[in-house]
Amino acid sequence: MHRLLPRRSCLPASSILVSRRPLYIHFYSTMAESTVGEPKAPVERKEKVKKEKAVQYTLKTPKGTKDWSDKDMILRTRIFDTLTSVFKRHGGVTIDTPVFELREILAGKYGEDSKLIYDLKDQGGELCSLRYDLTVPFARFLAMNPTIQSIKRYHIAKVYRRDQPAMTKGRMREFYQCDFDIAGTYETMIPDAEAIAIAVEGLTELGIEDFTVKLNHRKLLDGIFAVCGVPEADVRKISSAVDKLDKVTWEDVKKEMTEEKNLPVEVADKIGEYVKLKGGKDLIAVLQADEALMANESAAQGVKDMVLLFEYLDAFEATSRVSFDLSLARGLDYYTGIIYECVTAASAPPPADDAAVDTKRSSKKKPKDEDEDVSEYVGVGSIAAGGRYDELVGMFAQSKKKTVMPCVGISFGVERLFSLIKAKEDMSRIRATATDVYVMAFGGGKEWTGFLPERMQVARQLWAAGISAEFLYKAKPKPRQQFDAAEKLGAPLAIILGQEEYTQGKAKVKRLGLGEEADEGDDVALTELAGYICRQLAEK
């Protein structure tokens, strides 16, 4: 049955009928009668039916999602291929998990962000939600497969967040993550260093030049909070306030801590002294000299880890990319060790004194209108991020035979990388199709059949040899039409079945796209075409 009106939409009727977006088309119902509600009186009913017939809805993808096509797909596939080859180079194997999980699996894993999870409707049976990331499904997979004692797995797939989208900056509701994670019980900081090396290698091979890996340690951060006097129960919420330092000023963060989260001002000020620290290996000595901090077991462990980590990052030649940054906190609950975020100049929001920003904008740079694109007021955010999470798998496996499965991983944000890479790319050099040969027929006169079955036979011969070939879907095509089609595809070669040559068992092979120096072409026996074309393509 046709259902043209959303049955339980919470949008005002106007938003169904009128779109603010430029692209929309009208949809007229073929229904004779409305199925939506019962009218109060016959007259009203008639009017309703009439209205319904002309119901319009915006033809679009859901908010925060988009279609990908043409050269964008070629470019995005190139990003996937580059990252896949980096992942495989480090011994990665891939897994695939369902796009939705049982709702209990995702519950309690994402802290304040849980409200952004998409739920499936209860249609009977299990309650499910769309995955929010690839990490929790990976942990669930490990808990379900206890025979896997160690694994380096990569997973390239879509995840879902009901967040405020900023499409031109690659902040979407449906977006790809490319994750590499190392699970298993190993000596401290070795897999951690490799995860960071993979982040550096991946971004470098993608041609991202100006990135920095911001690095911190949850144990160090927890130690700092303890030493400053944050009650243990408040650590996560204070941590999530600190995490906003890449987007808002210290004053705003302090305000959130003291006013919204009731932290004493002097505690906030102490935290402020620590979180402004950043540097390289040198920062380790500064922290080691801080006796109060080193007396805290958690902080001391964190610093000890960092010493080792920097030694290994040196061996991987990754140190120059790293900024040890005590303001990095990361929002997610499940991290237990080192955490990192790769950022570029485009990651941060534009400065507040940008000419275009009017005074009504708050320092948080969020537009007031739900439907307004926030792209102008935010940066692309981090382009890759990750950390160590040693207890997530155990959360699924709290039986007596406790499963301990320490993990560390890195996740690349493809849409954000895409928007950076596309901005630098010469898109005119990308070909959308892979067609190598266009099979044409030339001829005329009353006897001329157009050689359609003959062109089909030649194409079939090429396909069987693995050669990409097309022909015009027309019984009697004109030469011009066929050349135009071949040119539009950017096909480098044409096979021309001439009326006379064909009867002599021959065809002409011509190189295309040569402009002024048009190719005369070679005569090739029909039975030799595939082999001849293969050699021509191999030479190019």
Q: Which of residues 279-298 bind a copy of itself (CB under 8 A)?
A: none
CB 80 within 8 A of CB 177: no
The amino acid occupying position 201 is: E
Which of 126, 209, 484, 528 touches a copy of itself (CB under 8 A)? 126
Cβ 505 to a copy of itself shortest distance, Å: 17
Q: Among 260, 273, 297, 311, which residue interacts with a copy of itself (rule: CB under 8 A)?
A: 311
Segment 376-405, which members bind a copy of itself (CB under 8 A)? 396-399
Q: Report how far Cα 419 is from the mean position of its chain's Cα atoms.
A: 10
Identify which of residues 200 and 268 has a Cβ nearer to a copy of itself in the complex. Answer: 200
Window contacting a copy of itself (CB under 8 A); options: 4-12, 230-238, 413-421, 493-501: 4-12
Secondary structure, 3-state, 334-370: CCCCEEEEEECCCCCCCCCCCCCCCCCCCCCCCCCCC
Based on the shown chain and the rule CB under 8 A, indicate whether residue 108 belongs to the binding site for a copy of itself: yes
* Sole window of 127-135, 229-237, 239-247, 527-535 interacting with a copy of itself (rule: CB under 8 A): 127-135
Q: Which of residues 183-222 bind a copy of itself (CB under 8 A)?
A: 184, 186-187, 190-191, 193, 197, 201
Work out which of 52, 79, 83, 92 binds a copy of itself, going by CB under 8 A.
Answer: 92
Is residue 14 at the binding interface for a copy of itself, with CB under 8 A as the rule? no
Interaction with a copy of itself in 139-178: which residues (CB under 8 A)?
Answer: 140-141, 143-145, 153, 158, 160, 162, 174
Alpha carbon distance 378, 413 (integer Å): 16
Compute the Cα dihedral for 203, 420, 239, 249 and give only its sign.
positive
The verdict on 460 binding a copy of itself (CB under 8 A) reads yes
Residue 7 engages a copy of itself in binding (rule: CB under 8 A): yes
- Tell me if 422 contacts a copy of itself by CB under 8 A: no
* Residue 70 binds a copy of itself, judged by CB under 8 A: yes
User: Which among 87-95, 266-274, 361-369, 531-539 is the span making contact with a copy of itself, rule CB under 8 A?
Assistant: 87-95
> Which of 117/293 has CB closer to a copy of itself?
117
CA distance linking residue 442 with residue 285, whole number of Å: 79
453, HSE (Cβ side, Cα atoms, 13 Å): 2
279: nearest Cα among 271, 290, 287: 287
277 binds a copy of itself (CB under 8 A): no
Alpha-carbon gap, residue 361 to 363, rounded angstroms:
7
Contacts for 420-427 with beta carbons within 8 Å, 24 or more apart? 420/208, 420/344, 420/346, 420/380, 420/383, 421/75, 421/79, 421/206, 421/207, 421/208, 422/72, 422/75, 424/207, 425/75, 427/71, 427/75
Amino acid of residue 169: K
Q: Which of residues 44-63 bind a copy of itself (CB under 8 A)?
A: 57, 59-63
The amino acid that residue 500 corresponds to is E
Helix 190-205 and helix 297-315: axis angle, to 10°? Answer: 50
Task: Give SS3 for 51.
Answer: helix
Among 17, 49, 75, 95, binds a copy of itself (CB under 8 A): 95
Count other C-beta atoms under 10 Å from residue 150's C-beta: 13
Q: How far apart are CA 273 and CA 228, in angstroms?
A: 10
* Closest distance to a copy of itself from the beta carbon of 61 (Å): 5
CA 63 to chain centre: 16
Q: Give the per-residue contact string, 502-531, with a copy of itself (x = CB under 8 A; - = no).
A: ------------------------------
Q: Which stretch binds a copy of itself (CB under 8 A): 72-80, 163-171, 222-230, 295-303?
A: 72-80
